C-alpha cells in the first residue's frame, strides 16, 4: 500500500483508509457481527492500511469502542481519525456543538472509548452555525499543544470556513463526500485545499455502495438502512442512476477488475493529496477495495469515467448542515 502525506502538516497515511461507520451504524447489517468487523480491521492492518476512520456519533459511541478493541496491540501501526460536533438533543433530534467546552468533553470521551492517549486526526464533524469556527479551532489548537490530538480537520466545510480555520491553526485534512457519484468538491473545495496544502479524505467513495453495482433496488436493503431515505436511492432517481454504474462496469470489464476497484482507482487518480476511506465490515470486500491501489486506468478510461453525468437526486434529504 502506498503511503502519502495528508496535507502539509506532516501526517502520513495509507492512500486508502478504512471507514468503520458501517460496522456499527446506518447500513444493512450494521452491528450484527463485531467479530467479522474486528477481523476486517486486522486484515486491513496486514494489507498496509494505516488510516482508520470513526466518529463519536456512529452508534453513538459503539463504533469508537469497537475500533478501540480491534486496535489494541496495534496502536503504533495506525492513524486513528475520529469526529466530534454532532449531538443528540433532548427531543432526540440532532444538533451541532462546536463550543470549546464540547470539544474538550468530546475528546476525553473519544480517548477513553478508543483506549488511547492521543487521537491522530480529530475532525469537526459538522460546522456549528452558532459558534465561529475560530473559537472551535482555538480549542483544537490547545489540544494539539497538550498532545491529546496530533492534527485536526473539518468535515463538510465551505471554502471560506476552511480559510478562516486555517488562519487560526493549519488544517491537516478536510473530509467530504467525493466520488464518481458526487463530484461537488471539484468546483470550490479542492482548489482551496490545494492552495493551502490541505489533504482531502473522501467518504462514501463508492457512492454508499451503489458504485459496486450490487444495489439495483432499495428492496435489497434492510428497513432501517439509511439509504432507503436517501434521495438518490428513491424511485425514478435510482433507476436513472443505474446508468452511472453501467459506465463503471464497462471499464471494469476492460481491465478484468471490479466496479468498486475502478471507482476507487478513478478517485486515487485525481490527486496525490487524496486518501479515500471506503467502508466495509467484510474481509472479502476490504481485499477487493485494496486491490484498487495497484490498478492503473488509461487516459481514455479516465476520460470516459470523467464524462459521466451527475446523478439524479440530492446526496442527503437535508442538505442544510453541509458546506457551511
From the list 27, 58, 122, 178, the catalytic residue is 58
Q: Residue 199, Cβ neighbours under 10 Å: how many?
A: 26
What are the helix (H) ranges across 126-234?
A: 133-146, 159-168, 189-196
Q: Active site includes 58?
A: yes
Place of cell 463550543: 99
**Tell me, what DSSP letter sits at residue 221?**
S
Q: How many other CB atoms are found less than 10 A from the CB of residue 230?
A: 20
Q: What residue has cell string 492552495?
A: 195
Element holding 195 (H helix, E strand): helix 189-196
At 264, phi and psi to the nearest 5?
-70, -40
Non-local (6+) Cβ contacts of 127 within 8 A are 85, 96, 98, 133, 154, 156, 157, 158, 161, 321, 324
DSSP output for 290-301: HGGGG----HHH
Start-to-end CA distance of the chain, whole Å, equals: 34
Residues with active-site annotation:
58
Amino acid at each position: 500500500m502506498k503511503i502519502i502525506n495528508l496535507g502539509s502538516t506532516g501526517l502520513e497515511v495509507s492512500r486508502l483508509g478504512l471507514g468503520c461507520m458501517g460496522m456499527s451504524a446506518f447500513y444493512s447489517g450494521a452491528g450484527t457481527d463485531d467479530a467479522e468487523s474486528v477481523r476486517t480491521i486486522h486484515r486491513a492492518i496486514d494489507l498496509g492500511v494505516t488510516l482508520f476512520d470513526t466518529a463519536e456519533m456512529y452508534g453513538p459511541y459503539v463504533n469508537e469502542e469497537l475500533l478501540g478493541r480491534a486496535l489494541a496491540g496495534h496502536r503504533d501501526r495506525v492513524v486513528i481519525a475520529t469526529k466530534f460536533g454532532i449531538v443528540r438533543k433532548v427531543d432526540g433530534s440532532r444538533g451541532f456543538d462546536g463550543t470549546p467546552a464540547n470539544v474538550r468533553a468530546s475528546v476525553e470521551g473519544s480517548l477513553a472509548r478508543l483506549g488511547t492517549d492521543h487521537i491522530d486526526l480529530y475532525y469537526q464533524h459538522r460546522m456549528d452555525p452558532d459558534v465561529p469556527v475560530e473559537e472551535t479551532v482555538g480549542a483544537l489548537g490547545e489540544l494539539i499543544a497538550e498532545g491529546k490530538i496530533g492534527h485536526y480537520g473539518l468535515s463538510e466545510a465551505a471554502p471560506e470556513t476552511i480559510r478562516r480555520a486555517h488562519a487560526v491553526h493549519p488544517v491537516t485534512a478536510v473530509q467530504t463526500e467525493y466520488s464518481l457519484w458526487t463530484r461537488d468538491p471539484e468546483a470550490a473545495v479542492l482548489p482551496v485545499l490545494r492552495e493551502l496544502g490541505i489533504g482531502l479524505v473522501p467518504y462514501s467513495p463508492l457512492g454508499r455502495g451503489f458504485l459496486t453495482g450490487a444495489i439495483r433496488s432499495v428492496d435489497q436493503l434492510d428497513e432501517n438502512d439509511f439509504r432507503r431515505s436517501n434521495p438518490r436511492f428513491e424511485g425514478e432517481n435510482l433507476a436513472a442512476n443505474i446508468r452511472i454504474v453501467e459506465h463503471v462496469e464497462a471499464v471494469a470489464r476492460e481491465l478484468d477488475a471490479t466496479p468498486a476497484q475502478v471507482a476507487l482507482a478513478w478517485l486515487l487518480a485525481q490527486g496525490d493529496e487524496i486518501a479515500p476511506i471506503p467502508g466495509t465490515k467484510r474481509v472479502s470486500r476490504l481485499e477487493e477495495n485494496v486491490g484498487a491501489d495497484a490498478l492503473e486506468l488509461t487516459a481514455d478510461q479516465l476520460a470516459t469515467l470523467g464524462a459521466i453525468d451527475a446523478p439524479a437526486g440530492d446526496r442527503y434529504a437535508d442538505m442544510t448542515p453541509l458546506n457551511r
